[in-house]
Amino acid sequence: MVRKKKEPNRIDDMLDDLLADCQGPEDILGESGLLKQLSARLVERALAGELNHHLSQAEADDEANSARPNSRNGYSKKTVQSTQGELELAIPRDR
């Protein structure tokens, strides 16, 4: 069976760009390494998306009722344990 040559995709290109600045394992796996930063950003983006969905649902419900609409209210800091160690996260808040 002939193996197809793997086509580079967008994720591979982004990883190449991120890894270009790394000099050694500490830059990737260390206390402030790339893996830890990416993990924190991914969780923060997921939480922001969840809040966006919640607020869009609340906005639709508020149109039926004349209650005060729900809105964003900044961020709170949380520290969570992960396989990469402790992650400092900015958790989006609502009213």
For residues 80 and 85, what is the distance between their CA atoms, to the nearest angstrom?
A: 8
pLDDT 10s digits, 30-63 = 888 999 999 999 999 999 999 989 888 766 665 6
* 16, part of any domain: no
- Beta strand ranges found along 1-95 (DSSP E): 72-82, 85-94
Three-state DSSP state, 31: coil
Domain holding 32, by residue range, is 23-94
Burial string for 13-40 (b: 16+ CB within 10 Å, else e) reads eeeeeeeeeeeeeeeeeeeebbebeebb
* 10, part of any domain: no
Q: What is the overall mean pLDDT for the chain? A: 85
pLDDT 10s digits, 59-90 = 666 566 656 677 788 899 999 998 888 999 99
Question: What's the sign of the alpha-carbon dihedral 50, 56, 65, 70?
Answer: positive
| Domain total in the chain | 1
pTM of the predicted model as reported, rounded to 2 decimal places? 0.73
